[in-house]
A and B are shown apart, each in its own frame.
Chain A
C-alpha cells in the first residue's frame, strides 16, 4: 500500500496574549487509500489536524512537522499558490453543517461549478453538465431543479449531499470529512454516510473521517486514531476497537450505553494529567 499522506510529528500552535496554545502536539500517521477515523473530544486537536493538512490553519497559527507529505509533495515547503491549487482539486474537505458552510446567496449549481472552474479551464456548458452529474452521483433525484435552488431551500441532508458534490466534483484523491454528519438527523446520517462510503470506494479516495462519535467511526472506517489533548493516544484497526488498551479509549467505550444492560449511572469519562505526556 503506497502512502497517500504521511504526517510525522505535526504540531499546530497558536500564540495568544496569555501564552502559547498547543492544539496539536506531535501527531504522526500515514494514510493509504483507506478510511481513517480520527476520534476525540472537543479541543483534542482532531479538527486542527485536518485543517493543517488542508492548509486552512488560521493565519496566526504556526505549523511545524518533521514531514507533511502528500503524494510526494512536501506540503510544508509548498507555496501558498501551490497549496491552493491542491485544495479542492486533490485534497478536499467536507465541513460539518451545510446550513453555514454553503454560501447563502449563491445557487447550489454555481457553487459546484465554481470548484471546477477554479481548477480546470472548462466551458460553461461542460461545467454545468459535470455539476449535474455530480448531483446525480450524490443521489439527488432532480439535479436540474436543485441546480438552481439556494441552500436555504433544501433540507439538511440534501445540503450535506450538495456539500459532498461540491467537494468531490474536481475529483480529489484525499477527502477530509470534519464531522460530516454531526449536524444531521440520525436517519439522514446513515444515508449521507452510505453515499460518502460508496463514492470513496468507487473513486479510490483516501478518507480522513473526523468525528467525536466512536461507534460511528468504528463501524465506518478501516482504522481509528484516538486523540486526546493534541496527541494520538491510541491507533488500532476499527474491528479491534474493543481491544483498546489506553485508559482514555476504554473510558470512551465504557461510556456508551448498551441496550439491555442495566448500568446506572453510566460511568463518567476520566481525564488524567499524565495522559497528556
Chain B
C-alpha cells in the first residue's frame, strides 16, 4: 500500500488522488501533537484529538511506501506536514529496541519498504544536507528499509513524475 502526504493545493491533491489511493492533504486544519503518549498508553494507535488526524497513525503504519511532498522549512518538513508526522507516533509501540545501533520504539505494523521525500522551495546547501539527514533518520525511526530524498526545482516536475 502506498500513501502520499502533501501540503499543496487542490490541483495537486486531485493529481495525486488520480495516481494513489491514499492521499493526505496536509492543510493545517488540525491540532498539533500534545505529547501525551495516549496513542501508546490509553487508546493504542489512536489520537485523543478528534480531528482528521485521529486515526492517521493506522494509515501510515500500514503503508509500505510513504511519499511526502513538502515545502522546505530550514531543511525540514513544512509545519503542516510535520504535524501529520508528529501525530503518527502510534505507528510504534511504547516498547523500545535498538535499530541502527540506537534506541527506537518497536514497530506496531512491522518494517516497511520505502520512504520518498520530495521537497520544494528555495533550499541552501546546508538545508539540503540537513533534509537528507532528517529523512535518513525518519526512515530508521519508522522502519523503512529504503529512503529517497529529492529537491524539486519546479513544482510542475511532479506532474510528470511517477511518485
Whether both chains belong to one complex is answered with no
Which residues of B are at the interface with A, using a C-beta cutoff of 8 A?
none
